[in-house]
Amino acid sequence: MAENNMSVAHTSLTLIVAATVKNGIGKNGGLPWPMLKKEMAYFARVTKRVPTPNNTGSVQSDALKSAILDGTRQNAVIMGRKTWESIPPKFRPLKDRTNVVISSQDRSKLGDMPEDVIVASDIASGLEALSEAVTAGKALPIGRAYVIGGSSIYKAALDLEQTKHVLLTRINRDYDCDTFFSSLEDRSDEGNGWQRVGHKRLSAFVGEDVHEGLMAETHGEEEVRYEFQLYERR
């Protein structure tokens, strides 16, 4: 059991983020672009979908695949307090995912926080608390762990070696923003190189045939074009 606990605490992390051409991700606690229904649906599908391992023909692999298909695993979504509060109350905690909220405040000061939501002071302690919840049978074993914002949580996650992937929705224009995502290109000069991979690898990673190239959604007279991308740590 201790080995399983260790594996959850050190599980690889995937960031999922939407950002403008200048890496803007928010304005006044919300999104500066119109609501993108297809992009939001993509976020929901991807963060809910537990990855199924390739069939190796081994008994162990087949048993794990069977367990996943039986719904005995669930992805985790890790977010800061402000991101949690930006989610409409009727939609939180995010359904079919184990919610982990990172906050410097004590749980008792965060309002009516559901019991099944894990609260911790940083990502590492959040994963440790998640491990303990899984061991105690209070949370399902974890498939993937997604970091979903905001900017300070993204930055902290990028500083962790266990962060291996970034799923980026690149908004193909600029908006006035007051919060930003770290430039992966700049971080490539720090020895933690990031490389964008191709469409085939992106589709395989998320488990669906992702639209290749720019997509567009129209709100009134405003058209927003964006592209789904995947970056991997070298």
Do 132 and 6 contact (CB within 8 A), yes or no? no
Residue 112: band (very low, low, confident or very high) from pLDDT cuts 50, 70, 90: confident
Q: Domain limits of the chain?
A: 2-233
To the nearest 10°, report the CA torsion of 24, 88, 203, 231. Answer: 30
**pLDDT tens sequence across 144-156:** 999 999 999 999 9
**Mean pLDDT (the chain, rounded):** 89
Per-residue pLDDT for 50 more than 50?
A: yes
For residues 78, 167, 32 and 114, what is the CA-based torsion angle, rounded to 10 degrees?
Answer: -20
Chain-centre distance for alpha carbon 192: 19
- Domain 2-233 sits in CATH at 3.40.430.10
User: Each residue of 92-107: pLDDT tens digit?
Assistant: 999 999 999 999 998 8
**Better-scored residue on pLDDT, 60 or 94:** 94
Alpha helices (H) in the chain, listed in sequence order: 2-9, 37-48, 59-69, 81-86, 123-135, 151-158, 184-187, 199-206
Instruction: Report whether the peptide linkage leading into residue 29 is cis, meaning its omega lies within 30 degrees of zero.
Output: no
